[in-house]
């Protein structure tokens, strides 16, 4: 059984091992192939039966050119880069990794929140640049410092990740509000469920952890921002398309105090590509923290992706596929 990994570098830049996957077949690993439709994709798949990928698109045209494909295994939770309907027509199961980064992603959101409250990176750089050694007073700070105890966080999307963040926020002494289409008892132990307008009006911090859908694309825009408190902190640790980037940049530049944002731009077809474009309006916005798409990427999370992918392939070879998303 031939197995090809089309874009393995972000999953394993060298600190993990493909050995367990290699035990299951004749393995070829490419660091990168293409992140847009390209003849190279079909060329590299060739006569392989199992295709493993993360962001390399697998289209109908590619599947037509590669009739040996028996399984498509995605090294992620999202699978929008695969034409799942075509795969289903051809009897090809598409499998994913349904959960792997709950702790890592929620931890990253809290890290962003603490950074916007204390600007630790900035102050560390200023000390290294000699400002403290030359300062007239025994301490200084360049931004208002924010204490979180007693403040209110509003979490939009209160599934596994949102609830994990809520537990940490509660431990910091924050009041927790949540908006979710499917409230549950576990969530009620952590947060007060409210509607969106109430969340916007009451929250000092608004965080996004929801899936991207046609209904919520661009949900953070000038109208929703107008319903928020002055000086609100907005953290988008979900898909980039949830926010109107120009509207957020305009709010920041007009005086809204802080937005911390991980720039996660993958999404359904039609998409805004990663990496960030040089003309993105957030790059010039005030009080805006931007990172690469990294909240998923601690070694522990990536090892869980590797382990689940190996199990997905092993289950398929045993005739009992699991984590199939296109039944």
Rounded Cα gap, residues 96 and 309, in angstroms: 7
Question: 130: how many CB neighbours lie within 10 A of its CB?
Answer: 9
Coil, strand or helix at 37: coil
Coil, strand or helix at 310: helix
Q: Residue 125, class by beta-carbon neighbours within 10 Å (0-12 exposed, 13-18 middle, 19+ buried)?
A: exposed
Question: Does the annotation mark 239 as catalytic?
Answer: yes
User: Torsion angle, CA of 213/214/217/219, rounded to 10 degrees?
Assistant: -90
Is the Cβ–Cβ distance between 50 and 1 less than 8 Å? yes
Q: Which residues of 312-325 are buried (b: 16+ CB within 10 A; e: fewer)?
A: bbebbbeeebebbb
Is the Cβ–Cβ distance between 298 and 327 less than 8 Å? no
Coil, strand or helix at 317: helix
Q: Which residues of 283-296 are buried (b: 16+ CB within 10 A; e: fewer)?
A: eebebbbebebebb
Question: 78: how many CB neighbours lie within 10 A of its CB?
Answer: 18
Residue of 20, 37, 192, 274 marked active site: 274
Residue of 22, 293, 311, 314 marked active site: 293
Rounded Cα gap, residues 166 and 239, in angstroms: 19
* Cis peptide upstream of residue 271 (ω within 30 degrees of 0): no
Residue of 239, 265, 302, 304 marked active site: 239
Is the Cβ–Cβ distance between 201 and 172 less than 8 Å? no
DSSP calls for 121-166: HHHHHHHHTTTTTT-SSS---SS-----TT-EEEEES-SHHHHHHH
Active site residues: 239, 274, 293
């Amino acid at each position: 059984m031939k197995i090809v990994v089309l874009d393995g570098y972000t999953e394993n830049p060298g600190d993990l091992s493909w050995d367990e996957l290699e035990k299951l077949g004749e393995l070829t690993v490419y660091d990168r192939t293409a992140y847009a439709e390209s003849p190279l994709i079909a060329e590299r798949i060739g006569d392989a039966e199992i295709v493993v990928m993360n962001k390399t698109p697998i289209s109908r045209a590619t599947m037509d050119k590669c009739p040996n494909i028996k399984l498509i295994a995605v090294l992620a939770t999202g699978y929008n880069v695969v034409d799942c309907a075509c795969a289903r027509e051809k009897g090809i199961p598409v499998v994913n990794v349904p959960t792997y980064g709950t702790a890592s992603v929620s931890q990253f959101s809290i890290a962003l929140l603490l950074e916007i409250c204390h600007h630790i990176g900035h102050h560390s750089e200023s000390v290294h640049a000699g400002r403290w050694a030359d300062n007239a007073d025994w301490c200084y700070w360049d931004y208002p410092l924010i204490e979180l105890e007693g403040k209110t966080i509003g979490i939009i999307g209160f599934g596994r990740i949102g609830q994990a963040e809520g537990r940490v926020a509660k431990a910091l002494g924050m009041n927790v509000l949540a908006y979710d289409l499917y409230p549950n008892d576990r969530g009620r132990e952590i947060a007060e469920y409210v509607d969106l307008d109430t969340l916007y009006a009451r929250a000092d911090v608004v965080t996004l952890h929801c899936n991207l859908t046609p209904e919520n694309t661009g949900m953070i825009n000038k109208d929703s921002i107008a319903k928020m408190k002055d000086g609100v902190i907005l953290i988008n640790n979900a898909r980039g398309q949830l926010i109107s980037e120009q509207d957020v940049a305009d709010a920041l530049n007009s005086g809204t105090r802080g937005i911390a944002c991980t720039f996660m731009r993958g999404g359904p077809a039609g998409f805004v590509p990663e990496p960030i474009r040089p003309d993105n309006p957030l790059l010039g916005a005030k009080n805006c923290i931007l990172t690469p798409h990294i909240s998923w990427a601690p070694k522990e999370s990536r090892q869980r992706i590797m382990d689940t992918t190996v199990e997905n392939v092993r289950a398929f070879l045993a005739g009992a596929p699991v984590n199939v998303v296109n039944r």
